[in-house]
């Protein structure tokens, strides 16, 4: 990339950096990468080294070297930082974090502003606690003007349980004085058929986020397909390993693209089916070290109660909300 002046460096956007600009990526390699949904330099960093080894069939050293080159190039264009970062840069990046309103002031306060970009927020609870309803509401709310708690951006909705309802989106949009047709157009829905399809969709998310300028990615539910397919203790390790890979991908996407990732997870009612605390999400701690907020939902008389779990920066507490025509709101 020699010959680019300073001005050009600033003007170049990450989405313009095709994998083929890297030394060592010829037409055949480019084709292999493209077939796997990898188009840009950023994609090379979002995917794990072992996944790239599988795609390219090369040695781990070679792939690491390729990723190193990708990292250096993006650092050169100030798109990412290389190695150590000074605290003021981290501060700058944190300042970019933005929030999507849930529609309930109580719940927004519990989340310290709403659902956060650059992070994964997990809503978990028994059936009927409002997980899917929250996902619908957020997919509309992300499109709201900033002064109304939105990000004026679109949403990507991965539906693994066939519970996405366009008619409900229309109702929420109308309740919020948005054009329902526009709102539907800005929600990009994929129905995941099974866990491997889900993994594939997540692998290709980077491209989708770029195409759609989405600021919200919903996975409802994230763990369901794995639970259905990997039954029994014998398969637990494999299931956890796949979940880990997916969560790593999601973490990197959230950070690199400044998007909010929202996942749902069911809790089994009957504690004897699963080991450990029955109010823990299925799949246990699926996230190793992602910046993740876990919100536990439960039913109350005429309302739902949310509490935040294991978050050092959030004050302990509960938020009461209701499911209404406009999505989610405070109780009347
Ligand atoms: P599972 O996916 O089964 O684990 O449940 P969930 O937590 O996703 O529950 P969901 O979000 O589907 O919440 C279901 C509850 O939301 C229902 O019990 C209803 O009380 C409420 N609800 C569902 N659809 C509507 C709707 O269109 N309007 C309103 N006002 N409430 C709804
Ligand atoms: Mg649901």
Burial pattern 8-21, b for ≥16 Cβ within 10 A else e, equals eeeebebbebebee
How confident is the prediction for the chain on average, in pLDDT? 85
Q: pLDDT exceeding 70 applies to what percent of the chain?
A: 83
Residue 210 — very low, low, confident or very high, per pLDDT cuts 50/70/90? Answer: confident
199 Cα–ligand 1 center, Å:
26
Which residue stretches of 176-235 are H helix?
Answer: 180-185, 195-203, 205-212, 224-229
105-141 pLDDT tens trace = 999 999 999 999 989 999 999 999 999 999 999 999 9
Give the pLDDT confidence of 259-288 residue by residue, as tens digits: 999 999 988 655 454 444 556 665 555 544
Q: How far is the CA of 304 from the centre of ligand 1 (A)?
A: 11
pTM of the model: 0.80
CB of 37 within 8 A of CB of 48? no
- Our CA angle for 53, 55, 56, nearest 5°, is 65
Yes or no: say if 71 and 48 are a contact pair by the CB < 8 Å rule. Answer: no
Each residue of 55-86: pLDDT tens digit?
Answer: 999 889 999 999 999 888 877 776 666 666 66
Q: What is the pLDDT of residue 40?
A: 86
Q: Which two tokens stand for residue 14?
A: 């990450």
Residues 6+ apart with CB under 8 A from 239: 226, 227, 229, 230, 283
| Residue bearing the CA closest to ligand 1, atom 2 | 127
Q: 249 vs 163, which has greater pLDDT?
A: 163
Q: Minimum-distance ligand to the CA of 125?
A: 1
Structure tokens at 81: 């930082």
As a whole number of angstroms, the distance between CA 198 and CA 205 comes to: 10
From its phi and psi, is residue 289 left (phi > 0), alpha (psi between -120 and 50) or beta?
alpha
Tell me how many helices (H) and strands (E) the chain has.
14, 11
> What is the whole-number distance in angstroms between the Cα of residue 324 and the centre of ligand 2?
16
Among protein residues, the one whose CA lies closest to atom 15 of ligand 1:
128
């Amino acid at each position: 990339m020699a010959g680019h002046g300073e001005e050009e460096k600033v003007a170049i956007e990450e989405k313009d950096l095709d994998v083929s600009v890297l030394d060592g990526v010829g037409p055949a390699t480019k084709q292999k990468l493209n077939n796997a949904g990898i188009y840009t330099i950023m994609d090379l960093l979002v995917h794990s080294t072992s996944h790239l080894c599988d795609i390219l069939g090369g040695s781990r050293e070679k792939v690491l070297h390729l990723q190193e080159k990708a990292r250096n190039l993006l650092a050169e264009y100030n798109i990412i930082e290389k190695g150590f970062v000074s605290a003021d840069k981290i501060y700058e990046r944190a300042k970019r974090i933005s929030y999507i309103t849930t529609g309930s002031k109580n719940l927004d306060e519990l989340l310290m502003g709403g659902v956060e970009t650059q992070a994964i927020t997990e809503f978990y609870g028994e059936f009927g606690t409002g997980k899917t309803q929250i996902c619908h509401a957020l997919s509309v709310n992300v499109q709201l003007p900033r002064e109304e708690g939105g990000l004026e951006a679109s949403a990507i909705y991965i539906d693994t349980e066939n519970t996405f309802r366009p008619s409900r989106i229309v109702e929420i949009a109308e309740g919020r004085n948005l054009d329902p047709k526009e709102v539907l157009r800005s929600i990009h829905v994929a129905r995941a058929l099974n866990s491997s399809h889900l993994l594939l969709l997540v692998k290709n998310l980077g491209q989708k986020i770029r195409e759609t300028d989405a600021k919200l990615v919903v996975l409802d539910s994230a763990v369901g397909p794995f639970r259905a397919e990997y039954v029994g203790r014998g398969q637990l390790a494999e299931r956890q390993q796949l979940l880990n890979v997916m969560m790593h991908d999601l973490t990197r996407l959230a950070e690199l693209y400044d998007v909010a990732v929202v996942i749902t997870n069911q809790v089994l009612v009957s504690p004897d089916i699963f080991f450990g605390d029955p109010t823990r999400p299925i799949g246990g701690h699926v996230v190793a070290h992602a910046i993740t907020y876990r919100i536990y939902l439960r039913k109350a008389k005429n309302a739902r109660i949310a509490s935040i779990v294991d978050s050092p920066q959030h004050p302990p507490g509960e938020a009461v909300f209701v499911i209404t025509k406009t999505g989610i709101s405070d109780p009347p």
